[in-house]
Chains A and B, each alone.
Chain A
Amino acid sequence: MDATLLTSMLFATVVAGTPLIIVALGLLVSEKAGVLNLGAEGMMAMGAVAAFAITHHSGSPWLGVLAGMGAGMAMAFIFGVLTLSLMANQVASGLALAIFGVGLAAFVGKPYEAVALQAVPPIRIPFIADLPLIGEALYNQQALVYFSWALFWGLLWFLYRSRAGLVLRAVGESPSSAHAIGYPVIRIRYLAVLFGGAMAGIGGAFLSVFYTPMWAEGMVAGRGWIALALVVFATWRPLRVMVGAYLFGGVMITQLFIQGSGLQIDFPSQLLSSLPYWATIIVLVVISRNRNTIRLNSPVSLGKPYRPDA
């Protein structure tokens, strides 16, 4: 395998992993606060279609990203109202959000199905982009790739160094204790859920405006669910989210490269395409086998509704 191929595979892996990182880190924050939002797929779909439409009309991909973020947050807000204010079941509400988001995106996006966008040029970071092998792959990338790295570092600092992050973890650990010592549990959970929605929206925007760039019904293709699995796989730790996302990106890209390489292997393309989904399942199995790792790391109140008695 020659160096250019390696570089382009690495490049593609980073691109494929980026939406997963952004979405999974957003979900990680809301799960750290104790809220399980299974609606990621729907929020991403809405983010993708909103970003695509606004980019198409305004010509600015950045307005598009903003719109995608807004759409993701709007979806997350619906989820917040249902689960945080109206105490609806988080699993059911998340499923509803996923189904609704995918459906609404398909509906809203119908007129855009045949539209093409101009590709957004990557941002080249001087000097380090000239490094052999990895330079082109890592430092001549889309802005949102750099954003995903900034998000990762920011989140590390927030969760483990800032007081706000400590409060967030405390709320996810025991909302009743947090309430008893005087923290506004519901408000904090709203913020965490909205952050998760914003990131899912940006992740969707990355898919439709930067990655493909086009809009098609079903284009999110389960990435929202994979992001949810990633958070479990990462046992709620940001570094492992990064690693996991690039692993998945690698699996997706490898199967694409095999399909596109014209290698004479006797294996149907459809079955190759199912590899990332099998990979998700296998990783889930491996990580869940030891109940204690899950139990020790998962936010204790995850998925449980909480209502302070006034």
Chain B
Amino acid sequence: MTPDLNRTADPAPGPRLVLKGISKIYPTVVANDQVDLNVRPGEIRAILGENGAGKSTLMKIIYGVTKPSAGQIIWEGREVQVANPAHARSLGIGMVFQHFSLFETLTVVENVALALPGKPALDALAQRITEVSARYGLPVDPRRHIHALSVGERQRVEIIRCLLQNPRLLIMDEPTSVLTPQAVRTLFETLRQLSAEGCAILYISHKLDEIQALCHTATVLRGGKVSGECLPAQETPASMARLMIGKDLPHCEHGAAKTDGELRLRLAGLSHASDDPFGTDLKDIHLDVRAGEIVGIAGVSGNGQQELLRAISGEEALSEKFPVQVCGVEAGRLSPGQRRRLGLAFVPEERLGRGAVPGLSLTDNALLTAARTQGLLAGGFLRSGRARAFAQRCIEAFNVKCGGPGAAAKSLSGGNLQKFIVGREILQAPRLLVCAQPTWGVDVGAASFIRQSLIDLRDRGCAVLVISEELDELFEICDRIAVIAKGRLSPTRAAAETTVEDIGVWMSGMWPGADPASSPAPTESPHA
């Protein structure tokens, strides 16, 4: 059965979904406060808001993952209590999650079968998957295991899984954060096709340009409340940003970089086979980062960023010394602690559990990396007073809102914890700072503070390497930009001499002089 047979027969003239006064109260936070929303058949409605505004919670309520504390859900004219996701699917609601709800060790067809009612025969199902994927331009091989797929392919599996159930409402949660600009355009084609067939779409994002390109209407959330509704076509990014954060978007001060600084990081033909069977192998990576500049590495997640960072930080030791040179020392076989003593500091992507220990106090978390550099030890024993003082300095200098140095790391909001970690690393006066996803999941205020801190650090003569999936961020703070794709690194380009479009093309592995064997890129290839 093709998806649209049902839809054309669908007579419902009124709104497909209406939310009235939806609230969700957690012990520590009000995630949704009296939210009203409605969406008509064929409408693509943006749910816009910054991190922590309550977008994801609201969508989980509609999909039956989370129960609302109060309010009504009216589906096609009738009030419903969405008991669970299976119920939501039987109503005709489909959802594509930001963090995919796929099972790595199962095949595509098994993953799809898990979300369908009844007991579909896997062979027939594989056939249907192939049909739907052809129809909507979403190529994917139903027999492959999820762990062998690229991020873009995984998203296709999620979308196909929804489409097979003929949804009349499709929820997309931040779908483009894992895609190249080109893949985003393909996705938009699919979504427009669905909308033309009468499917209503709720599109969650904080990227203003995408919303303008795709969405008919927008509901803006701020602090769990609806702060406004608008027609994106009639707005400017600046006006929508004001609705979203209540003030103008901050912008970072950015002077010219030094170009002749001392060499602080050299990757000299770094190749490394990943330890993880699902990981990416690094292949012949060359890069120089000098004092007084910020170099950015763009790329779709899962293209070797994690492995590259581990090889630089020392969390993954190499078998040879020369491929990683920190401040002039061949450091490939040194431990993370030894590299720190050479002047390296590192802000990892995961804040809780890697950059900080959730259950320990900020004082203890200061000890995590600063124990030796800041003289917080005496004869193998901890100097608690000094550690507390250092934590206090991080808190003050980086404007961390918390209950003092004794507060547990997990009691801080994402943005404040990130400011603490960045502060802890910067206050150790590193000669080289490596920073992964510096503002991922951080609110706008903290994000611009962190970006400004990185620029200030550069101006004080530190070399900074930033790895990020947010192109806008890289263009805002970096002096030079390179792209990582399938474990290979492109040459760098001066940020001022390149464009988002160019870098987007590079992200699919096609940069001048790229090894033809490595392209087309994983996100574009059905058989990577």
Contacts and interface: CB of A to CB of B under 8 A. Distances in A.
Question: In their complex, do chains A and B touch, with some C-beta pair under 8 Å?
Answer: yes
Interface of A: 163, 166-167, 169-170, 173-174, 176-183, 291-292, 295-296, 300, 309-310
Contacts of B101: 174, 176-177, 180-181
B65 A295 contact: no
A128 to B, nearest CB: 36
A177 B102 contact: yes
Q: By DSSP majority rule, is chain A's interface helix, strand, loop, or mixed?
A: helix
B66 A182 contact: no
B5 to A, nearest CB: 25
B322 interface: no
Interface stretch (B41-49, B109-117, B259-267, B421-429): B109-117
Given A163-B119, A181-B85, A181-B115, A169 B106 contact: yes
25 contacts: A163-B113, A163-B119, A166-B113, A166-B114, A169-B103, A169-B106, A173-B105, A174-B101, A174-B103, A174-B104, A176-B101, A178-B103, A180-B65, A180-B85, A180-B101, A181-B86, A181-B115, A182-B85, A182-B86, A182-B87, A183-B114, A291-B275, A295-B276, A295-B277, A296-B277
Q: Which of A182, A291, A310 has most B Cβ within 10 Å?
A: A182
B65 A179 contact: yes
Contacts of A177: 100-103
Given A169-B106, A182-B115, 15 more contacts: A163-B113, A166-B106, A166-B114, A169-B105, A170-B103, A177-B100, A177-B102, A178-B103, A180-B85, A180-B101, A182-B85, A182-B88, A182-B89, A309-B66, A310-B67
A113 B208 CA distance: 77
B97 interface: yes
Nearest to A173: B103
Contacts, number: 58
Nearest to B118: A163
Nearest to A170: B103
Q: Which of A173, A180, A296 has most B Cβ within 10 Å?
A: A180
B106 A173 contact: yes
A179 B113 CA distance: 15
Interface in B57-73: 64-67
Contacts of B86: 181-182
B518 interface: no
Contacts of A291: 275
A116 to B, nearest CB: 49
B84 interface: yes
A291 B113 CA distance: 31
Question: 6 closest Cβ contacts across the A-B interface?
Answer: A182-B85, A177-B101, A182-B86, A180-B101, A173-B103, A182-B84
B423 to A, nearest CB: 30
B40 to A, nearest CB: 26
B277 A167 contact: no
Interface in B263-308: 275-277
Q: Which of A163, A167, A169 has most B Cβ within 10 Å?
A: A163
Contacts of A176: 101
Contacts of A296: 105, 277
A180 B89 CA distance: 12
A190 to B, nearest CB: 17
A178 B97 CA distance: 13
Contacts of A170: 103, 106, 114
